[in-house]
Amino acid sequence: MPKTAKINEKIFKAYDIRGLYPEEINEEAAYNIAKAYATWLKPKKVALGRDVRISSKPLFEEAKRGLVEMGVDVVDVGLITSDMILFATAHYNFDGGIVVTASHNPAGYNGMKVVREGARPISIDSGLAEIRDIAKKGEFQVPEVKGQVENLNILDDYFQKILSFIDTRAIRPMKVVVNPNFGAAGKIIDKIAGKLNLELIKLNYEPDGTFPKGQPDPSLTENQAETGELVRKSGAAFAAMWDADADRCLFLDEKGEFIRGCYATAILAEAVLDKYPGGKVVTDATLIWPVIDRVNAMGGVPLINKVGHTFITERMINEKAVFGGETSGHYFFKDYWFCDNGMIPFLLLLEKLSESGRQLSEFADSLRKKYPNSYKLIRKTEGIPEKLKEIETKYQDAKIEHIDGVSVEYPDWRFNARASNTEPLLKVFLEAKSEKLVKEKLGEVVGLIES
């Protein structure tokens, strides 16, 4: 067991637990966090899974031990994607769920995502802070009767659930590039391809917790370039990329061009509103104009929200929204317990292209042309609140919102500046009515921040 403090407070983020292994999160921490989770939630039966990282198995085993010692029955669902823990918890009516994962972070990181009954998220504002404090104290009332452990293969049931979102008869044969970034998505993609007669062009496909090509993040330019090249060479209809725990899905069109998350959210919102006319759609505050445009055109109701899967899910539930999307590639569905899922967007896109007979670039290019945008990630470990106040002073004649960080809007351009919830970054997202204005104003805003 690593000789470190029981709990490093910094691993508790806005909506999950994440840190370097073993310096910040280790077996002792996983054991105590699991016991704290059991103390706070008081569950009887909990689903427990893990991602492909090398450190996930030992952390998983200690989390299991902690739960069992607290009298909790553990359902071991094995190596899964993060959205599968949501499925397991809600579909089988368990009292909670935990998946050991650090999502898209590099191989040296690990963490935990925790939910309660119904796959309801637990964020820092809705229980994670209390779990942290209980774990730090390390004082647990251990019952005499320990919990039991059972194994459950959920893949087939999960597969049937995600297929229910589309008309499988409508899908035409299609060639698609798929890049799971060495994560856990491959076994699900294979089942989808077998059912829907897809020809898969596979990239970074076999699970490998060392992530030999670097950070398993589909939003990274190098990952997109590699995938795009394969699309062009193979003549595929489009490409889908997932992060390591496969709860984020990003797309490239048939030209190998990346489709930013705000455009993909707009395209998917059309697909969902076709099925749920007049429904509410939640999106984050970073890049909003394409989504508002498409949702309004479809007769839906756009809602702007704070970034973060727990915050989006909570808003989805409160508003009874039918769909939600983030620029990062998280997509949320009313019929998936208002939670995010990385496979349903892939299926919806297959259905939309099959039924329309159009190419993906036709949907994306109209949005790109009308609402060009860009972003800048600025590494900044301190002084972020002061910079956000400086931004407000500079642009005080604009419409200012504080849904998430600071959003500044003029008739022909707007931007959002916010601190990352998981990294020491200030993120700036800017959209305008022309490419020239995007370039000019992004330089202006970034210059102000870096001055």
The set of catalytic residues is: 103
d(CA 268, CA 323): 9
Of 436, 440, 430, 444, whose CA–CA distance to 260 is shortest? 430
d(CA 279, CA 74): 37
d(CA 362, CA 365): 6
* Structure tokens belonging to residue 136: 């730090």
